[in-house]
Structure 1
Amino acid sequence: MPSFTFLKSPRRESEPMEGEDSGANLGNDNKETKDVVQKRSSKREFFRSLLKRSSLSSETRAERRRSGQFSPSPSLPIPSPKSPPTSPMDKPLPPPPPPGSEPEPAPSAAKNPVKLDRIISPLSQADLFKIFSGAPQFFARSEGHHTGAPHPSVAFPWDSELHIRDLCDHVRIQDEAWACVTAWPHITLQVSKNPEAKKEQCERHRAHFLPRCRERPNMLSMQGTERGTVGYQAALEIGVADALEIPEGGTPDEISAHRKKFLNGKDGLRPVTDSTLIDQLIAVSEVYQEDPLKHRRPTLQMYTELFTQILFPPSRVTDSDDPYSLQVQVESLVQVLAAPLIWVDFSLVEWRIRLGHILWGSSSDVLPEDEITVNDEVVHEPGTQKYWLLLQILLSCELLVRLDMISANIDHGLAAVKPAEIRRFEQHATTNVKWSMLLARTWLESIRIEKIDSKDETATAEKKPAGWLATLTGTAGAQTTINQGLNNVQFHGRRQAQQLAGLVHFAQKLGWPDLDSLKAKVTANTISITDSVASTPAAGTPLTMATGRSSSYFANSRPRIKRGLSSHKNVSAVIHPSGWLSNSYVSGLILPGEGLSHFLISTLLENDDAAVARLGVEANLYGGFIYGDKSFWSTACIIGRVLAAGKGASECMGWVSSDVQPRGAGEEWVNIDVKPAPRDDSTKKSSKPRLWHKTAIEHDGSVLGGADMSSVLPGDFILPLETSHPASLSITFNSLDLFLSAESVHSDSLDVPSPLDDDMSEMPKIQTYSAMMRFISVAEGEEKKEINVSLTHDVYFVTAHPCIPSPHAEVLKTPTSPSFRAQSPTSISSSPKFLGHPLHKAFTFTKLPLLTLLSLPATTPFSTLLSPPPPTSQSYLLDSTTHTTSSTIPKVLVIDCTDGSMIHFPMRTGVGGSETSSLGSVAGSLQGGGEKADRGRGKRGSDLEMLARAVCAERGWNALVSRRGRGCLACAVREAGALGWRVVLRIA
């Protein structure tokens, strides 16, 4: 008979039965109580197991709901078939497990919902930092009020490693004699190698005042790592170059009237005689050369000297706490130097170049109304700007000495400057005042004044050669009256030996034909500063690289240039030995900017009699000349930028030498006819240069394409692959042909008539040519073809900023990333095709082989090249991004300048030991490899690269030059977006 014990009530079973022994009942009661506790615990475990089932698949849950039954928890024992039957209405819990057999609790991860592979979360900030480690980021930030256009810069904000942060896209200055080319703080390679020179530089650059005034474009960035290119900073600053500034000045009569009133007034500047002027210049130089910590002058003494000999005392008290403070003196000097229509404006490039002409040139640019007498002594004699220049230098030196003293006091904790004083200084110190302070620093460090006896004045007054570049449209032979007022002094260079060593270095870099003769002259010390006092009129100053506009100081004696930014044409000069440009270089009195390149080449020519005899006496600094077995070109000339990419070319301080000798011209100076590069569609919408659009620069060059960092997904990136043209392509340079331009016949129409033109009539004019390059192309399986490319546009090339590939690209490897699904299952970092950083989907590009581009007509619209038809043969492969994007960043054309023979480009060990690129060694050379790195640059070059640049010059494309092994394609596309350019040349 079956048992019915299961119908008993648990409550009744737990009650003690009558007549039983109390001790026995106590033991049974304890036992039953434990059983109840265990059953309740088992019930809790059962319901907990039900909750755990929420992580199971929805399909299994639905089946259980349809069946109306629950399977036992896997953590509980399954009842055996021998278990007693149970009623559906009152199902008992399974028996508790034996003690010690309870399963261990599941790990905490199991309690959370399982993250499925198809659920993609945004990349974290830490992941983005890893992915874009070693990737340059492009900025344009304003430095403050009254500082002009924003300052472009490249930085690695997500990296702290020195070998990454030191990567740069330009060549460092390689000689201390060339350090004057820029106002930006820098360290030359020569100083970094020489501990003694570095110590001397630190002592010389003690705590001093540094005005927030720089040359534009940045001359540190004007020589890119690739020959014939510029860097990122210079590329953006060309549109806001100093040479484009329009002078705001009056006529010579207005300037003369202002100067008379200024000297005869009772507020501001005292009438300073010539003798007082020279004595004060000598005194301030001695003060500057002394150690200010050992020879500290009292403030009251400086106040007395300033306001009794140079300036009138201030009419009102500006500092009630200390009326004789340095701040009071500084404000008075700034007020005088900021007076309009009085001083030479060195913010204009032409005046920076002409600085040496005023000191060592002639006095032919006469302003008759400038004669001023004080106590029957002539203060400013007619026919010279020298007095006003020296007076401006004196005031600037006095101002700089006081600002240096304030800086030293702050550095030693002796005083503090109030914010209100800084604001007043920045407000009243105009750009001209700041450039005057840069001139004062150069003067105090470079020039030493020596008085000569009166008996030697006759020797000084003798006629001497005028110096080469003596005139643009005038003559160097006109006799003029010599100003005797300031001719009893001589200006000597403090670093003449350093400057001459730099001249020899420059000649060596260019491979000058008569280098031994130059070295002999330097060794014999026959190159020195001479007093060139013959006629060198104002027209003798070369125009700047980017403008033909003339200031009011030059009146109408300058030629008009009709092409604005592309105006380096018809700029002629007359060569004479021992000229004022040589004196400018040998003395070291060189202001930041392009002037140094003029001074170097002029000094080299003026000390080579054979070169002058064979080239003639007229020169063009913005063209080129053929001399010996070489041709020499200014980097302002498109031919120089293209030939620089060839084998055997060398570049140094604005000049390129090449073994290529043009056909159609002999040993002579030549001028090249070019057109300005057409503006891109993206820049036509605004009249302002690209640099002013700093938000667009940072957006279009961002590693995230302007996207929000908190919502970036792995699938938002693509991986540009390094694939080369499968067919072998051989390009051979044939010739550079010059054709006489019709403009040379009518060049006289460009010039404004001048009384000096008659004297120039007997001199041969520099001819203007148009240029064409011829190449021979041999493609695999095709016949030999001749390619003719005309150099018709004045375009620029930029070295793509180097980068170091990140070893963390596998962070982007997800099933939903199309780019990674196309890759092989192996790790991305080990793929030989992916050698760089990922590219955000906001950027789009089309990659065309150079051979494919050459097969299309030169008149093909650029938009057609960005979306060409499908290739008809295997030889015309192309690669283009196919994804759609709402980004406003323009699409980029990448021209593949490699061929089948370059697919296996030798790669070196990079970061993390992976075989990614040669950037490890490149980074080392850029940090200070010096001459070794430069020798490497000299050996590079190919006819294929020259052809690619020539094509860009023909079609008017500014292009970014990106070299495999130095930078990845993704970073080059981003930099093109920041620049607003549309073409990238990808070379091997």
Structure 2
Amino acid sequence: MPSFSFLKHPRSDSRQEVHDDGDANLSSRGGEKVQRRMSKRDFFRNLLKKPSVHVKGRDSRRQSVQVKTPDFQSPSTESAVTPASPMSDPNKPLPPTPPEAEIEEAHALKSPLKLDRIIAPVSSLEVHKLFSGAPQFFDRAEGHHTGAPRPMVAFPWDEEVAVRDLCDHLQIQDAAWGSVTAARHITRDRSNNPAVIEAHQKKKLAHYQPRCRERPLMLSMQGIERGTMGFVAALELGVADAQNEEEDFQDEKERSLVQRRRDFVYSKDGLRPFSESMLVDHLSRVTTNYDEDPFNTRRTAVEMYTELFTQLLYPPSRVTDSDDPYSLQVQIEALLDVLGAPGIWIDFSIVEWRIRLGQILWGPQNSSYEEDGVSINSEESLEPGAEKFWLLLQILLACELSIRLDAECQNIDLGKDSVRAAAIQRFDKQATESVKWSMILARQWLEDIQIESVRPRSSAEQKASSGWLATLKGAKLPHIAHGNTDSIDNIQIRGRYQQRQLSGLLHFARKLQWPNVEHLAGKVASNGISMSESIQSTPAAGTPMSSTTQRSSSYFTARRPTIRRGISRPQKISSIMNPTGWLSNSYLSGLVLPGEGMSHFLISTLLENDEIAVARLGEEANLYGGFIFFDKSFWSMACIVGRVLAAGKGARECMGWVSSDVTPRGCGEGWVNIDIEAELPSNLYSDYGKPRIWEKIAVERDGNVIGDSDSSSVLPGDFVIPSDKPAKLPLITLESLDFFAAVDSGLNTPTHEYTPYMEMSEASQIKTYSAMVRFSVAFGEEVKELHFALTHNIHFVTAHPCVPSNHTETLHSISSPTSPIFVSGTTGTLSGHPLHKFFSYTQVALSTILSSPSKSYSTLVTPDDSLASELAVDDKPSKVLIIDCTSESEQISTTLPTNHKHHFGNDMEVLVRALCAEKGWNALISRRGRGCIACAVREAGALGWGSGGVIVRL
């Protein structure tokens, strides 16, 4: 009879099952019938339990880090597995082995989670966390016809203000120095000076800002480390404004400047002829109206149209705006056509012209000479005072253009004239660099200058007024009567904020620890310093040329460099200091165009108003060299000696000048000129001779956090975290700075040349020297003497600050077991940013280099026991040499620095810079506590300093 045992209670069945199953496995009792019955029960029960067991196992695999290996890999556990077939029989043969494809699929489905962590790439979010606080280096073009790309450093993955505001340069500290740059900025003393606050409030209103600024960016020229610059300035050195040449005109040989101007007047398609008195009247009215009503809200567009085309310009010959023939846009286009006329106006995109601006306005107008000595487009204007007339006319037209563009911007800002936004963009494309620089000059004029009348000269002294047509010498044109009205010789051009400028001068003197600073402060307090009331026939300064036009470090050679410039040839090696000279007037008026001119005017004004300094140093000055005065030395940042000594203890830096307690041996008190190699830094250019800044893709790739890797395939093992290797440094002492007269340099050869600004002047009395720095280095008991010749005009750059990331644990896996913890000195653990395998470096201790200073760069960068990242990648930047100057005895802060300005400085830092100056290595100065090694390596890659450049780790 069949069995009905399956109708029994489940619990009893379960107990009975276990008992019977145990009996079946442990004894031979129970026949084949019992075994078949138990197999059927197990079969149905397994069918009911199999899904739940499968789900539970899958969930457990998700929650567990490590999962047991599948059963088919572990024969020892086979006896504990419940039979999976109703016909299971211990004597039955095993089923066939599954195909390899099924085994691989099982491995893929049941691979451990730990294995996933090893193989899975780093996600974009994890990359953002890893490189939070790390600077990113960009090189982007601003649009068509905007010149070279604009470098920049940003933190796109960080929102904290403290991180985003990190910079590698110092803020402009005084409002008197604000015109050093055309870029928007806020000076540090803005809240302390009421006049500065008023000027700042005026600038907050909507106005037109030309898409034009100086190169290199002067905001980035003073790095956090003394004697250094920032990333932006370093990359822009290859396209500096000083390399610009005056434009050549096809008809230059056929027509002179005077002829071109005469034809320009005769064309009757632009300017109207008018007298000097009319020019002075218009300029005075424009300046006054801007001060009272910056955006001309009191005048309509029709009134401005009438004034422009009845007094200054001829009406346009064609209708450019059929909807509104009297619109501001019509007036803007007409003024743009006149100011854009080639070969007529002064081009202030040329550095020398920015400096010579003050010479034209305040320099001597001596009619006893046949020539006035000031040229445009390398041609002489033969009429004394002609250049001043044409310069004032250029300023007037640029002011009229700026006022109308400001009015358009104001209308757009208020929503009154939104359709004109495209017109402003069109103007940006049509305006040349020369026009944009004329507008920068106009803005400086409107904000800082006022015109005052002075006592007219008597009829015996007064010469015939040289008005519009009189400036065209030899042109037989109708004479325009001027009467007794004002002329350009009877006006005084003054600054609105002279007290602000004097405060900035005193600030400059105190920063440099000027020996007679209290005497200077007394003169400022008693109003003893002021602009000259009239133009006097005093000796004028030879023009300081740009620092990149030199054939030696003086940059003032009697023989002009072969590079052609749009300025008269300098006939003297130096500048002349005079209390009523145009150098002082340029600074005190505030009419200083962006660029290096501010540093020249500051030091010149300081010297011209210190009688003791002029008496002891002489009137002749080299503004690109240095001088020794009162047991101190003062150096221009254009001089390699100044950049090296700036790293010493007690050195001070301010606005392009450095003061040091180190005085040279081999020369006395006075001005000096330093002889250096003439070659340009090779690493400013790519292998094809093109400036590095134009290699936009290479700059961003070689500075990218992951190099040229695909962001979707970045693995944890691709990164390492570089660490400092503090060691015991030798005892370094600066013994002396030695000068040797450069007898064979040819720069001291006497010359006698007759110039418009001086009588028969002999050669410069400023001597040229070669510089060498001598050190004693103690390696334990052994003391060596090392000396380094400062022969190369290399540059030092402050490595951009960064904030350490707190997410480096993402890289701590078995894929990168050798990733070290970033340890700085003896202060414990300070995590830095990772470095991708795309980059490679060699870290060499300073003591190793000093033990054999004759080793070449290539030998040092590839040592046998290299600490570099050795992962090879095609098309990667060259290996970077890191000179490790870290010491075990130094204590550094592991927190984010709130004040990036350091107060360090010692003989060891001077030695490292002197070493670089002798070898010709540009150097990136990276200091612990401010930035990590990985970010410095990436910045060196962006600069293209993988060959011929080093990182100095302090």
Pairwise CA distance, 1:855: 2.0
CA distance in 2, matches of 1:831, 1:512: 39
Q: Conserved in 2, the CA contact under 8 Å of 1:563 and 1:676?
A: no
Q: Conserved in 2, the CA contact under 8 Å of 1:972 and 1:984?
A: no
Pairwise CA distance, 1:705: 1.3
Pairwise CA distance, 1:785: 1.1
Pairwise CA distance, 1:719: 1.1
CA distance in 1, matches of 2:494, 2:684: 52
* 1:71 alignment partner AA: V
Return the match for 1:545 from 544, 547, 555.
547
Partner in structure 2 of residue 71 of structure 1: 81
Q: 1:214 to 1:456 in 2, by over 3 A?
A: farther
Partner in structure 2 of residue 765 of structure 1: 765
Q: Conserved in 2, the CA contact under 8 Å of 1:64 and 1:70?
A: no
**Where in structure 2 are the equivalents of 1:84-163 lying within 5 Å?**
88=89, 114-117=112-115, 119-163=118-162
Q: What runs of 5+ residues in structure 1 fail to find an aligned partner?
A: 11-35, 77-84, 92-109, 372-378, 462-482, 550-555, 871-877, 908-916, 927-932
CA distance in 1, matches of 2:227, 2:460: 49
CA deviation map 1:64-95 (0-9, x unaligned): 5997x78129xx9xxxxxxxx9984999xxxx
Pairwise CA distance, 1:753: 5.6
**Where in structure 2 are the equivalents of 1:350-365 lying within 5 Å?**
350-363=352-365
1:735 aligns with 2:736: yes
Partner in structure 1 of residue 899 of structure 2: 925
Pairwise CA distance, 1:489: 0.9
Q: Conserved in 2, the CA contact under 8 Å of 1:722 and 1:835?
A: no
Q: 1:64 to 1:89 in 2, by over 3 A?
A: closer
CA deviation map 1:911-934 (0-9, x unaligned): xxxxxx24x2x2x225xxxxxx5x
CA deviation map 1:333-385 (0-9, x unaligned): 000000011001000010110111101102359787999xxxxxxx9954431
Pairwise CA distance, 1:456: 6.8
CA distance in 1, matches of 2:387, 2:143: 34
Q: Conserved in 1, the CA contact under 8 Å of 2:675 and 2:770?
A: yes
Pairwise CA distance, 1:801: 0.4
Pairwise CA distance, 1:857: 4.0
Q: Conserved in 1, the CA contact under 8 Å of 2:513 and 2:659?
A: yes
Q: Conserved in 2, the CA contact under 8 Å of 1:570 and 1:671?
A: no
Partner in structure 2 of residue 220 of structure 1: 219
CA distance in 1, matches of 2:804, 2:90: 70
CA distance in 2, matches of 1:310, 1:238: 40
**Where in structure 2 are the equivalents of 1:251-290 lying within 5 Å?**
254-290=256-292
How many equivalent residue pairs? 860
Q: 1:894 to 1:569 in 2, by over 3 A?
A: farther
Partner in structure 2 of residue 942 of structure 1: 906
CA deviation map 1:223-259 (0-9, x unaligned): 0000000000100111111001011146696211111
Q: 1:570 to 1:969 in 2, by over 3 A?
A: farther
Partner in structure 2 of residue 795 of structure 1: 794
* 2:892 alignment partner AA: P
Partner in structure 1 of residue 860 of structure 2: 865
Partner in structure 1 of residue 47 of structure 2: 43
* 1:735 alignment partner AA: S
Pairwise CA distance, 1:171: 0.6
Q: What runs of 5+ residues in structure 2 fail to find an aligned partner?
A: 9-39, 62-66, 93-107, 375-380, 464-484
CA distance in 2, matches of 1:309, 1:528: 35
Partner in structure 1 of residue 578 of structure 2: 576
Partner in structure 2 of residue 464 of structure 1: none
Pairwise CA distance, 1:178: 0.4
CA distance in 1, matches of 2:272, 2:797: 51
SS in 1 for 2:403: helix
Partner in structure 2 of residue 388 of structure 1: 390
Partner in structure 2 of residue 846 of structure 1: 842
CA deviation map 1:688-747 (0-9, x unaligned): 11111111110000111121111111110011111112x342111110000001245554
Partner in structure 2 of residue 23 of structure 1: none
Return the match for 1:335 from 331, 337, 342.
337
Return the match for 2:852 from 837, 844, 856.
856
Pairwise CA distance, 1:458: 7.9
Return the match for 1:979 from 938, 943, 954.
943
Partner in structure 1 of residue 71 of structure 2: 60
Pairwise CA distance, 1:517: 1.4
Q: 1:60 to 1:260 in 2, by over 3 A?
A: same
SS in 1 for 2:134: coil
Pairwise CA distance, 1:192: 4.9
Give the stretch that moved more between structures: 973-982 or 530-539: 530-539
Partner in structure 2 of residue 304 of structure 1: 306
1:963 aligns with 2:949: no
CA distance in 2, matches of 1:240, 1:157: 27
Q: 1:142 to 1:816 in 2, by over 3 A?
A: same
CA distance in 2, matches of 1:438, 1:364: 29
Pairwise CA distance, 1:560: 1.1
Q: 1:354 to 1:839 in 2, by over 3 A?
A: same
Q: 1:66 to 1:965 in 2, by over 3 A?
A: closer
* 2:423 alignment partner AA: E
Partner in structure 2 of residue 836 of structure 1: 832
**Where in structure 2 are the equivalents of 1:652-663 lying within 5 Å?**
652-663=654-665
1:898 aligns with 2:869: no
CA distance in 2, matches of 1:946, 1:802: 22
Question: What RMSD in Å do the two structures reach over aligned CA positions?
Answer: 3.8
Q: 1:172 to 1:746 in 2, by over 3 A?
A: closer
CA distance in 2, matches of 1:564, 1:958: 28
Pairwise CA distance, 1:457: 8.2
CA distance in 2, matches of 1:313, 1:758: 45
Pairwise CA distance, 1:154: 0.3
Partner in structure 2 of residue 489 of structure 1: 491
SS in 2 for 1:116: helix
Q: 1:356 to 1:641 in 2, by over 3 A?
A: same
CA distance in 2, matches of 1:686, 1:799: 27
Pairwise CA distance, 1:761: 4.5
Q: Conserved in 1, the CA contact under 8 Å of 2:749 and 2:763?
A: no
CA distance in 2, matches of 1:704, 1:354: 48
CA distance in 2, matches of 1:240, 1:603: 30
Q: 1:797 to 1:752 in 2, by over 3 A?
A: farther
Partner in structure 2 of residue 875 of structure 1: none
Question: What TM-score, normalized by structure 1, do the two folds share?
Answer: 0.80
Q: Conserved in 2, the CA contact under 8 Å of 1:842 and 1:887?
A: no
Question: What TM-score, normalized by structure 2, do the two folds share?
Answer: 0.83
CA deviation map 1:887-936 (0-9, x unaligned): 5211100001233433xx232xxxxxxxxx24x2x2x225xxxxxx5xxx
* 2:840 alignment partner AA: T
SS in 2 for 1:633: strand
CA distance in 1, matches of 2:770, 2:803: 41
1:399 aligns with 2:401: yes
CA distance in 1, matches of 2:373, 2:578: 30
Q: Conserved in 2, the CA contact under 8 Å of 1:892 and 1:973?
A: yes
**Where in structure 2 are the equivalents of 1:502-581 lying within 5 Å?**
502-531=504-533, 533-534=535-536, 540-547=542-549, 559-561=559-561, 571-581=573-583
CA distance in 2, matches of 1:558, 1:313: 48
CA distance in 2, matches of 1:369, 1:901: 64
Q: 1:262 to 1:683 in 2, by over 3 A?
A: closer
Partner in structure 2 of residue 229 of structure 1: 228
CA distance in 2, matches of 1:120, 1:652: 54
* 1:43 alignment partner AA: L
Give the stretch that moved more between structures: 337-346 or 252-261: 252-261
Partner in structure 2 of residue 15 of structure 1: none
CA deviation map 1:76-118 (0-9, x unaligned): 9xxxxxxxx9984999xxxxxxxxxxxxxxxxxx997532337
Q: 1:421 to 1:764 in 2, by over 3 A?
A: closer
Q: 1:954 to 1:86 in 2, by over 3 A?
A: closer
* 2:332 alignment partner AA: V
Return the match for 1:633 from 632, 635, 657.
635
